[in-house]
């Protein structure tokens, strides 16, 4: 459509007239035009610096430079933002959004400036809110579940308790993350993570300390996990669907469980820094991130879900469809999104995990 605009200069005038007369409420126009210049600084995870990850933004504003700095983890991104990173836009994940709000690092969003906002399901929009106010847009999402080798575990797996099963001693791999570990303990035991008691935490710590004897290694990056599963060293693992997709592509016999306690889900969020000097560019960037055209690149590139349902419909790779259960409209009902916990709780979970790893 943009290309045709250049060929028929009257078209924008017509469109403008039509939209002005339209009954639907249209978003306020941004001040940007196709030859906008400038630099937009982004603090993002590695892999998202590729132009395919903001393809529509790049096409719409080809003269704008997108400069991406990397963060290694949520804690890393948070630390860098606190220390005054030169980043207008940044990308935390669920579980951390309220910390940015509390430290005034992020600005509240004016969603009227985001033209594609209406395309996003309410469930995802809600995850970008803190105290009822919209501070972030959701962008990518995925599952956490148990990935297992079907040839080593012929009976299949239907519960998170499999991570603690002595049958798989020496062949289990858990993600190296305290809050993640506590979340799983709450699933297995049926507790409420946001209201977890000290006694429950102590029990969770014991569970994971005992589990350590069954655990081969804690993975911190997916390559470590997939090479371990491919080599047959790991049979059962806490994993995201990206690993499932990769192993399917390598023809390794694996399956992705649907535990009776439910899968876990997480969502990646984009926010605008409170000190951003180029908010117009930032809003346009966020807006274009929500387009289905961009979403397809995310899904195809990383086997991560995109929040725009239209993007999901455009995916053809059968492995990815399987990994994300894109054909199952109810899959998101059977998953549990990571809740918000306080800083005290986050510290408690971190210390719990440190004690698990330090135990002699």
Partner 1 sequence: MPAESRRRLTALLTPPALWLGAFLVAPLLLLSAYSFRAGVGGALFRDWVPTLEQYRILLGTPAFLRLLALSVGIALLVAVLATLFAYPVAYYLVFRVRERAGVYIVLLLIPFWISYLLRVMAWKVVLGEGGAVNSLLLSAGLIHEPISALFYSRLAVVVTLVYVWTPFVALPIIATLYRIDRALLEAAASLGATPWQRFWRVTAPLSLPGVLAGAVMVFIPTVGEYVTPSLVGGSSGSMYGNIIFDFFGRSANWPLGAALAVVMLALTLGLVGATSRLTRLERFIG
Partner 2 sequence: MTRVSRRGWLLPSYYWALLALLYLPILVLLVFAFNDGTILAFPLRGFTLRWFTELFATEALMRSLRNSVVVAAGASLVATALATCGAIAVMRFEFRGKGLFLSVALLPLYVPFVVLGVALLLFLSTVGLPRSLWTIAAAHTVVGFPYALLILVARLVGFDRHLEEAAMNLGATYWQTLRRVVLPLIAPAIFAGWLTAFTVSFDEFAVANMVVGREPTLPVYLYSQLRMTARLPRVIAMATLIMAITLAIFFTLLWLHRLMARPPAATSPVRP
For partner 1, the binding residues (CB under 8 A) are 72-76, 78-79, 82-83, 99, 102-103, 170, 176-179, 212-213, 215-218, 220, 223-224, 227-228, 231-233, 343-344, 346-347, 349-351, 353-355, 357-360
**Binding-site member from 40, 60, 85, 296 for partner 2 (CB under 8 A):** 85
Name the token pair of 11: 């078209």
The answer to whether residue 144 forms part of the interface with partner 2 (CB under 8 A) is: no
Nearest to 331 by CA among 142, 184, 150, 94: 142
Rounded to a whole number of angstroms, the minimum distance from the CB of residue 343 to partner 2 is 18
Q: How far apart are CA 180 and CA 167, in angstroms?
A: 22
Task: Give Cβ neighbours of residue 311 (< 8 Å, ≥ 6 apart).
Answer: 292, 293, 294, 295, 296, 298, 299
DSSP 8-state secondary structure symbol assigned to residue 340: P
CA 59 to chain centre: 24
Contact range with partner 2 by CB under 8 A, out of 73-81, 204-212, 312-320, 332-340: 73-81
**Binding-site member from 30, 111, 159, 227 for partner 2 (CB under 8 A):** 227
Residue with Cβ nearer partner 1 (82 or 167): 82
The C-alpha angle with vertex 275 and arms to 269 and 281, in degrees rounded to 5, equals: 65
Contact range with partner 2 by CB under 8 A, out of 117-125, 211-219, 222-230, 326-334: 222-230
Torsion of CA 276, 277, 279, 284, to 10 degrees: -100
* SS3 label, residue 325: coil
Residue with Cβ nearer partner 1 (167 or 355): 355
Task: Give Cβ neighbours of residue 120 (< 8 Å, ≥ 6 apart).
Answer: 137, 138, 290, 307, 308
* SS3 label, residue 71: strand
The answer to whether residue 84 forms part of the interface with partner 2 (CB under 8 A) is: yes
CB atoms within 10 A of CB 23: 4
Nearest to 270 by CA among 97, 113, 57, 150: 97
Rounded to a whole number of angstroms, the minimum distance from the CB of residue 108 to partner 1 is 19
Rounded to a whole number of angstroms, the minimum distance from the CB of residue 247 to partner 2 is 8
Q: How far apart are CA 130 and CA 100, in angstroms?
A: 10
Bridge partners, residue 265, by sequence: 143, 337
Rounded to a whole number of angstroms, the minimum distance from the CB of residue 278 to partner 2 is 14
Note whether 244 and 230 are within 8 A (CB): no
Binding to partner 2 (CB under 8 A): which residues in 35-64?
41, 45-47, 49
Residue with Cβ nearer partner 1 (62 or 232): 232
Residue with Cβ nearer partner 2 (209 or 227): 227
| Phi–psi pair at 288, nearest 5 degrees | -70, -25
**Binding-site member from 184, 226, 239, 257 for partner 2 (CB under 8 A):** 226
Rounded to whole angstroms, the maximal C-alpha distance in the chain is 75
The answer to whether residue 79 forms part of the interface with partner 2 (CB under 8 A) is: yes
Residue with Cβ nearer partner 2 (96 or 302): 302
Name the token pair of 339: 């809740």
The answer to whether residue 275 forms part of the interface with partner 2 (CB under 8 A) is: no
Contact range with partner 2 by CB under 8 A, out of 115-123, 141-149, 217-225, 285-293: 217-225
Rounded to a whole number of angstroms, the minimum distance from the CB of residue 156 to partner 2 is 24
Rounded to a whole number of angstroms, the minimum distance from the CB of residue 99 to partner 1 is 8
**Binding-site member from 119, 176, 203, 222 for partner 2 (CB under 8 A):** 222
The answer to whether residue 83 forms part of the interface with partner 2 (CB under 8 A) is: yes
Residue with tokens 């069954």: 214
Residues that bind partner 2 (CB under 8 A): 41, 45-47, 49, 67-70, 72, 76, 79-80, 82-86, 221-223, 226-228, 230-231, 242-243, 246, 250, 301-302
């Amino acid at each position: 459509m943009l290309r045709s605009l250049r060929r028929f200069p009257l078209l924008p005038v017509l469109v403008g007239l039509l939209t002005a007369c339209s009954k639907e409420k249209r978003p306020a126009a941004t001040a940007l035009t196709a030859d906008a210049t400038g630099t937009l600084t982004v603090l993002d995870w590695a892999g998202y610096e590729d132009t395919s990850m903001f393809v529509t933004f790049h096409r719409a504003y080809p003269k704008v430079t997108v400069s991406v700095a990397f963060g290694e983890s949520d804690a890393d991104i948070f630390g860098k933002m606190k220390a005054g990173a030169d980043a207008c836009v940044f990308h935390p994940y669920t579980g951390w959004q309220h910390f940015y709000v509390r430290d005034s690092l992020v600005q509240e969003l004016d969603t009227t400036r985001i033209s594609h906002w209406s395309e996003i399901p309410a469930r995802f929009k809600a995850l970008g809110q803190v105290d009822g106010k919209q501070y972030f847009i959701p962008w990518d999402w995925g599952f956490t579940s148990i990935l297992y080798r079907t040839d080593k575990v012929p009976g299949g797996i239907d519960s998170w308790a499999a991570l603690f099963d002595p049958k798989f001693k020496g062949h289990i791999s858990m993600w190296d993350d305290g809050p993640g570990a506590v979340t799983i303990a709450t699933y297995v035991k049926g507790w409420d993570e946001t209201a977890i008691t000290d006694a429950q935490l102590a029990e969770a710590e014991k569970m994971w300390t005992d589990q350590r004897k069954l655990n081969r290694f804690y993975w911190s990056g997916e390559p470590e996990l997939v090479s371990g599963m491919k080599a047959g060293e790991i049979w059962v693992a806490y994993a995201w669907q990206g690993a499932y997709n990769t192993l399917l592509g390598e023809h390794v016999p694996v399956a992705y469980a649907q535990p009776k306690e439910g899968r876990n889900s997480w969502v990646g969020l984009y926010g605008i820094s409170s000190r951003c000097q180029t908010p117009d560019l930032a809003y346009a960037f966020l807006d274009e991130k929500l387009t289905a055209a961009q979403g397809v690149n995310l899904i195809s590139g990383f086997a991560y879900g995109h929040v725009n349902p239209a993007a999901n419909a455009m995916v053809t790779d059968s492995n990815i469809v399987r990994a994300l259960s894109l054909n199952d409209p109810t899959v998101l009902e059977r998953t549990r999104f990571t809740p918000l916990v306080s800083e005290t709780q986050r510290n408690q979970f971190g210390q719990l995990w440190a004690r698990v790893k330090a135990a002699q």
